[in-house]
Chain A
Amino acid sequence: MNLQAVNANVSGVPFFRFLSFEIREIGELHAQAEMTFAMRHIGNPVMEYYHGGIIASLMEATCAIAVRPDFSEFPAKPINLTVDYLRPAVKGPLFAHALVTRKGKRIASVSANAWQTDREKPVAEGLYHFLLV
């Protein structure tokens, strides 16, 4: 599936528009996204850090697209997630990469990470499960 078609699909999802991100890379079992910073993404108004929930949301969205980029009605169904927060994410672009580690008939396991200026310094890592039926 090409990037343009994936992003057209992304823009059809109200919550994805709220997050305001674009898919930059898409492959058989991986996806990469870039999110534009907005004030509505802030969790700590004093320091202007991203809300942890927004970071988890971007990683979840990227994972769902990696699992099923050609979704029709709504993205792949999430079962659960675990997120580790490693550093604060500051005002500016936020990137997420998702890698499908196992895709079975019913369940997919996906790992994700998020970073800002340096990919070697992730702000968060996550593990997500999706139901494919």
Chain B
Amino acid sequence: MLRVENVSVAYGRATAVREVSLTVNDGEIVTLIGSNGAGKTSLLNAVAGLVPVKSGAVWLDDILLSGLSLHQTARLGFGYVPEGRQLFGDMPVIDNLILGAYPKSARNRLSLLGYVGWFTRRADIRTNLESVYRLFPKLHERQSQKAGSLSGGEQQMLAIGRAMMCSPKILVLDEPSLGLAPNLVKEILQLLGRLREEGLTILLIEQDAVAALKIADRGYVMERGRIVLEGTAGELLGNDEVKHAYLGRALT
């Protein structure tokens, strides 16, 4: 599904990610863990097209993603739930969700310029909206509230729901647990597990390594811009080094 091959990312002369390779197979949950500043978000931003890749390649199925910009990767089925959620705060919940379906309109190519989507009350958008509301009944209740007025947990649900609106090939989440109460984190991770059972492929970036590894199939550990360890979730949970470096605090 997603293949990252020897990707490096640099900001000016500072290299944030050094020759990282990782794979996410169809239907898997893969987690990328590591401490703050390890380069996880930089890697993800480069994969999404938010910052340029310095070297290496990113493939989504047989499409070369590296070199494309953010809006193009989104249209190709890269469902990005960024750190900090990046919602349209002044818009109602329902409009945030409807805009999530924008890539579908863009793909329709109804105009010469390829970005005219016409009406937002189309049947396909309504169908997706209903399935997102089934996942998150809370969002249905608050559909006319402004996104900015939601609680942190609801905003995170909205960010995930928005990414689901265009039926992405892969859902990529950057620290969905950030700033959320533990029971909410649990709820969101359980939900990701359910989505995987429905066939969705997920790449999850987390600082909360235990929680992430509990729902993941495989994991990668990143440290100072490099992948230092990889394995199945069980292996990593049992690994002494991992326990020591990332799980220690959480286990005691």
| Chain B binds chain A | no
Interface residues of B (CB under 8 A from A): none
Interface residues of A (CB under 8 A from B): none
